[in-house]
Structure 1
Amino acid sequence: MGGSAGQEALERLGVLVGEWAVEADLPGADGPPARCVFAWDLDGRFLVQRTEIPVEGAPDSMAIIAVDPESGAYTYHYFDTRGVVRTYAMSFDGEEWRLLRETPDFSALSFRQRFFGRVEGDVIRGAWELAKGESEPWERDFGLVYRRTR
Structure 2
Amino acid sequence: MAVDTTERREALARLDVLVGEWVVEAEFPGLEAPPQGRCVFEWGLDGAFLVQRMEAPNPAPDSMAIIAVDPETGGYTQHYYDSRGVVRLYAMTFTDGVWQLLRERPDFSPLAFRQRFVGEVGEGGDVIRGAWERAEVDAAAPWERDFVMTYRRSGA
Could you tell me which residue of structure 2 aligns to residue 147 of structure 1? 152
How many Å apart are 1:6 and its aligned residue? 1.2
Q: For 1:147 and 1:39, locate their aligned partners in 2 and report how far apart those are by CA, in whole Å.
A: 16
Counterpart of 2:40 (choices 33, 37, 41) is 37
Counterpart of 1:81 (choices 83, 87, 105) is 83
Could you tell me which residue of structure 1 aligns to residue 112 of structure 2? 110
Q: Is contact 1:34-1:54 (8 Å) kept?
A: yes
1:47 and 2:17 matched: no
Q: For 2:144 and 2:60, locate their aligned partners in 1 and report how far apart those are by CA, in whole Å.
A: 21
Q: For 1:137 and 1:32, locate their aligned partners in 2 and report how far apart those are by CA, in whole Å.
A: 27
Structure 2 residue matching 1:50: 3-state secondary structure = strand
Residues 1:29 and 1:60: Cα distance change in structure 2 (over 3 Å): farther
Counterpart of 1:97 (choices 78, 96, 99) is 99
User: Of the two structures, which has the highest relative contact order with CA contacts closer than 8 Å and spacing of 6 or more?
Assistant: 1
Structure 2 residue matching 1:105: 3-state secondary structure = coil
Cα deviation code 1:5-39 (max 9, x no counterpart): 21111000100000000111103373651100000
Identity of aligned residues (%): 63
Q: Is contact 1:4-1:70 (8 Å) kept?
A: no
Give the counterpart letter for 1:122 in structure 2. D
Give the counterpart letter for 2:80 in structure 1. Y
RMSD of aligned residue pairs (Cα, Å): 1.8
Could you tell me which residue of structure 1 aligns to residue 143 of structure 2? 138
Counterpart of 1:125 (choices 103, 123, 129) is 129
Q: For 1:60 and 1:49, locate their aligned partners in 2 and report how far apart those are by CA, in whole Å.
A: 11
Q: List alignment gaps of at least 5 residues for structure 2.
A: none
How many Å apart are 1:59 and its aligned residue? 1.1
Q: For 1:29 and 1:70, locate their aligned partners in 2 and report how far apart those are by CA, in whole Å.
A: 45
Q: For 1:111 and 1:124, locate their aligned partners in 2 and report how far apart those are by CA, in whole Å.
A: 25
How many Å apart are 1:112 and its aligned residue? 0.1
Could you tell me which residue of structure 2 aligns to residue 65 of structure 1? 67
Structure 2 residue matching 1:24: 3-state secondary structure = strand
How many Å apart are 1:114 and its aligned residue? 0.7
After TM superposition, the score normalised by the length of structure 2 is 0.88
Q: List alignment gaps of at least 5 residues for structure 1.
A: none
